[in-house]
Amino acid sequence: MSNKNLSLLFTGQGSQFAEMGIDFTKKYDWVRERYSISSEILGYDLLKAQSDPSLLNLTQYSQPMIFVFSSIIIDLCKDYFYKNYSKIILAGHSLGEYCALYFAESLDFEEMLKVVICRADSMSIVSDPNKYAMYAILKKEDLKLDENLFGDGVFIANLNSNRQVVICGFKDKLMKFKENNPIGKFVPLNVSAPFHSDLMVESSKIFSEKIKNNIFKKIDFDLISNHKLVNYKNLSEKDYIRQLSLQIHSPVLWSDTIETILKEEVNTFIEIGPKKTLLNFLPRDFQGDKFSICSIKDLENV
């Protein structure tokens, strides 16, 4: 067994693309079966939905798509990680937190997919591309953002690194914010809801009600939550639903999450999901190994 400490990072919404999972279906019979089971639970053909540009980026479709894809990679390499690393620390960005809980076996695949569906449906009620928007701000590393800049319909959604934050809110308010605060390059995100802000409180309540009868199993892994860096390992399993609900309308403290993980002397980061995104947020001076697993080729390389 390796004495190295591993952190697994799971990507969230925005990493989806039309062909994800196709290479795995060509190689593994059980993957084709997983997509068939998923389609039956969802009520539509998941792979066909992925190929439809009008559906691919909609919250209620993209979140299940990403979870199913990530679950396949998890099940392909989980035993290897168990055998080859002495300690594994988990974290997921937004939706990725559900993939992390699946890795930790808090719910089985079908149970977790149903929870993800409830989350996606609950969050999609706020979706309106004419009303809301999100922007990533690429800023100078040494630029400290004044929190007093935010409010009045503009919110910090993600603190991804010392180089990037994500803001969200009402479209008209965001346009004025951009004009009045030249603090970096504003990159529009392909989403239509103000995720991880106070505008998602109602979605959070709906989600809690939808999954109130789900019974999560307590996990044995350190899993750092987006919401206030809570470690699921230190929570009662009865509090998992509340934690997931709070996560929906709380900022994603990703930079602080990585700092928390690095304190555990992690030597290797591996990102799991459709696209490599989270490794880009690691500190520039990180000297350990880092890999992404987004395809069969990546899996073989790792």
Could you tell me the pLDDT band of residue 1, with boundaries at 50, 70 and 90? Answer: very low
The confidence score (pLDDT) of residue 3 equals 57
Positive or negative, the CA dihedral 254, 255, 259, 260 is negative
Shared-domain flag, residues 296 and 250: yes
With pLDDT > 90 as the criterion, what percentage of the chain qualifies? Answer: 89
Nearest to 65 by CA among 55, 75, 79, 74: 55
d(CA 129, CA 269): 35
Number of domains in the chain: 2
Q: What is the CATH number of the domain that holds 251?
A: 3.40.366.10
Could you tell me the pLDDT band of residue 160, with boundaries at 50, 70 and 90? Answer: very high
Could you tell me the pLDDT band of residue 201, with boundaries at 50, 70 and 90? Answer: very high
Shared-domain flag, residues 120 and 227: yes
Positive or negative, the CA dihedral 209, 249, 114, 101 is negative
Shared-domain flag, residues 137 and 178: yes
Shared-domain flag, residues 182 and 204: no
Instruction: Give the pLDDT confidence of 42-70 residue by residue, as tens digits.
Output: 999 999 999 999 999 899 999 999 999 99
The confidence score (pLDDT) of residue 147 equals 81
The answer, yes or no, to whether residue 290 has pLDDT greater than 90, is yes
d(CA 150, CA 30): 48
The answer, yes or no, to whether residue 142 has pLDDT greater than 80, is no
Shared-domain flag, residues 121 and 237: yes
Using the 3D structure, point to which of 188, 214, 229 is the last residue of a domain. 188
Shared-domain flag, residues 182 and 118: no
Could you tell me the pLDDT band of residue 190, with boundaries at 50, 70 and 90? Answer: confident
Shared-domain flag, residues 122 and 228: yes
Structural domain of 168 = 132-188
Q: What is the CATH number of the domain that holds 153?
A: 3.30.70.250
Instruction: Give the pLDDT confidence of 73-94 residue by residue, as tens digits.
Output: 999 999 999 999 989 999 999 9
The confidence score (pLDDT) of residue 77 equals 96
The confidence score (pLDDT) of residue 4 equals 85
